[in-house]
Amino acid sequence: MRLHVITSRFFAANCVVIVAQDSDRALVVDPSAGIRKEIRTVLEAEGASVAGVLATHGHPDHVWDCAEIASWAGEVPAPVWIPGPDRYRMEDPLAHVGMPAPLELCTWREPSDLRDFPAGSVELVEGLWMKMVPAPGHTEGSSVFIGHCDFEVLAKGRVIASSQVPAPWALAGDVIFAGSVGRTDLPGGDEYQMRHSLRTLSNALDPETLLIPGHGPITSLAREIETNPYLRRARQIG
């Protein structure tokens, strides 16, 4: 599995393009604004086409180009998956964050084939199995998406993490960052739910899980359990 991390200029959100081994079908995760060229470059280098789009939650810096990227699949747009509780945000993502739109944003376009992410372990595209773990607190639908396989994580064409044997990894969205967590003061955020989510994740997931956050550098759950003050507090007081 190859996971390409592309950082947008729009709030420095991380988009991830995932291509399974021996596959030419890609899943594009959290396609933010301003990185269409970079996404297309990765797809061309992999010889892959868009088979699906995933939004870890419904904030505009993670969903803005979902419809555009889905349209690259051809005559029939690729499906766009999102956690069910955040689906309402896709009608107008900016309306639900209480923040003005950056001037460089184009007009919002809602995906035509929008789907709730299903329960259980799911093969979203050929060779790529993932499971959603709901982790509300940043938004109502914020979730972490976990996989288990051999992998390479790349940024700007350079390998920044890898495992030659099956190992756990997760798309952490805006739940856990390196040294921090997602904010809870925006509409739909909840500090108590965030603490509960952090405690649940730190107890339920393999500590060796590689985390690819929605912002900032990659990290591991073990490192965050040891050093992240927000996880430490959540584990102490729940």
Domain boundaries, the chain: 2-98+113-237
Helix (H) / strand (E) element for 236: namely helix 229-237
pTM: 0.96
Q: How far apart are CA 183 and CA 219, in angstroms?
A: 18
Express each pLDDT in 69-105 by its tens digit. Answer: 999 999 999 999 999 999 999 999 999 887 666 656 7
Counting beta carbons within 10 angstroms of the beta carbon of residue 140, is it exposed (0 to 12), middle (13 to 18) or buried (19 or more)? buried
Instruction: Give the bridge partners for 53, in sequence order.
Output: 28, 80
Spell out the residues 6+ positions from residue 222 whose beta carbon is closer than 8 angstroms to its own. 207, 208
Strand pairing report for 14-19 and 2-7: antiparallel
Q: Which two tokens stand for residue 120?
A: 């259980």
State the average pLDDT over residues 120-145: 97
- Give the pLDDT of residue 27: 99
For residue 35, give the amino acid letter: I
Per-residue pLDDT tens over the stretch 23-58: 999 999 999 999 999 999 999 999 999 999 999 999
Are 194 and 172 within 8 A, CB to CB?
Answer: no
Query: Which CATH architecture best describes the domain 2-98+113-237?
Result: 4-Layer Sandwich (3.60)
